[in-house]
Amino acid sequence: MPAEERICSYSTVLMGSPILLKLFSHDEALAKQVFGRIKRLEDLLTVNRADSEVMAINHAAGSHAVVVSRPVFNLIKRARAVSLLPGSCFNFTIGPLVKRWKIGFHGDAVPPASELQALLALTDPRLVSLDEQNCSVLLEKAAMEIDLGAIAKGYIADVIKHYLQQQQVDRALINLGGNVHTLGAGWSVGLKKPFAAAEELIGVIGVAGKSVVTSGIYERYFAHNGRCYHHILDPQTGYPLDNELLSVTIISDDSLDGDIYTTLIYGLGVTAGLAYLAAVPQIEAILVTKAKEVILSSQRQFSFSLLDNEYRLR
Ligand code: ADP
Ligand code: MG
Ligand code: MG
């Protein structure tokens, strides 16, 4: 029997995204365990509800340190380190700007420049103090807000992969709304065509046991006066990042790395992004540009077949 016919798919909606689990045996109980774990992690990390661990930190901004669980602390520690890299456009204290723009949520509109300017004063990652011993986090200024939206799915995908490995699963795929993680060989992951119907693909990425994360300006955006305002913000200006890129896909061992690097490379743009990636051989990328080019950083950990002839490989 061909492998495709033996795949059992389980789906749900969590983190505001479609979640898909593919297994090679019918195992409803395992799927339930996986979805339950995703839900519990979402409950710790979300900023779209009032009562997560991250929101407890945000509520105490300018006032006191908040003790969090060790995994949340470690994730915040990594986010802070990446935010402080020279030239990094990744900034986990971007919360006040994300909340103000509301991109992808009801009421999104272009805020007045003066308001954005004022909010930039609240997005300094150096103003987050971490206490390793107590496992606590303090935001030094009132109204500061941590937002882990760029990395929560990647982190959760890694936890789920680890759980599946512990359950002796040797072949599976988990898709957390665009963060795909795989166990075992023979997986094909579609690269979505920007601004097209969901099932239209630019090409197909072949991987074995790798994470494939895509972040694009067509995922969550609104259009106003002929401009596209999307959900990846430039912490220097307060506006959506604007360059020649439509999307960045990262192929890596860990999905958290994939999530971090999609944002980092998106912010660097094509030339600086490729130069950056050349120094990190374990991270590979597929860049899609507004000029309809598909640029592969290298191809050691994946294969790519182009399906759409509007796009060309560079
Ligand atoms: P998703 O796949 O859920 O759309 P992405 O991984 O593409 O998320 O990251 C986008 C999210 O990251 C935004 O919705 C916001 O919460 C957060 N974000 C926006 N700009 C930045 C930034 N410069 N640095 C870190 N996080 C950001
Ligand atoms: Mg991301
Ligand atoms: Mg994404």
Cβ–Cβ < 8 Å for 264, 279: no
Q: Return the residue whose CA atom lies nearest to atom 12 of ligand 1.
A: 150
Q: Which residues fall inside 5 Å of ion ligand 3, going by CB?
A: 178, 215
pLDDT at 1 (0 to 100): 44
pLDDT for res 5: 56
Tokens read off for 53: 């661990």
pLDDT of 103? 87
Q: Would you state the pLDDT for residue 109?
A: 86
**Helix 152-166 and helix 28-45, axial crossing angle in degrees, nearest 10:** 150
**237 to 87, 116, 140, 150: CA distances (angstroms):** 13, 8, 22, 18
Sign of CA dihedral 111, 117, 121, 123: positive
Residue to substitute in 233, 242, 243, 250 for testing ligand 1 pocket (most ligand atoms within 8 angstroms of CB): 233
- The per-residue pLDDT for 50 is 87
- The rounded distance, in Å, linking the Cα atoms of 38 and 107 is 28
Per-residue pLDDT of the chain (314 residues; tens, 9 = 90+): 455 558 999 999 999 999 999 999 999 999 999 999 999 999 999 998 889 999 999 999 999 999 999 999 999 999 999 999 999 999 999 999 999 998 888 888 899 999 999 999 999 999 999 999 999 999 999 999 999 999 999 999 999 999 999 999 999 999 999 899 999 999 999 999 998 988 899 999 999 999 999 999 888 888 888 888 888 999 999 999 989 999 999 999 999 999 999 999 999 999 999 999 999 999 999 999 999 999 999 878 999 999 999 999 98
pTM of the model: 0.95
The torsion angles phi and psi of 50, rounded to 5 degrees, stand at -80, -20
- DSSP code string of 263-297: HHHHHHHHHHHHHHHHT-TT-EEEEEETTSEEEES
Which pLDDT belongs to residue 252?
98
Q: Could you give the ipTM of this predicted complex? A: 0.96
Instruction: Look at ligand 1, atom 10, and give the residue with the nearest C-alpha.
Output: 150
Measured from CB, residues less than 6 Å from any atom of ligand 1 are: 89-92, 94, 98, 147, 149-150, 153, 178, 215, 219-220, 231-233, 235, 259, 263
Closest CA to 194 of 186, 182, 202: 202
User: What contacts 301, CB < 8 A, 6 or more positions away?
Assistant: 207, 210, 251, 252, 284
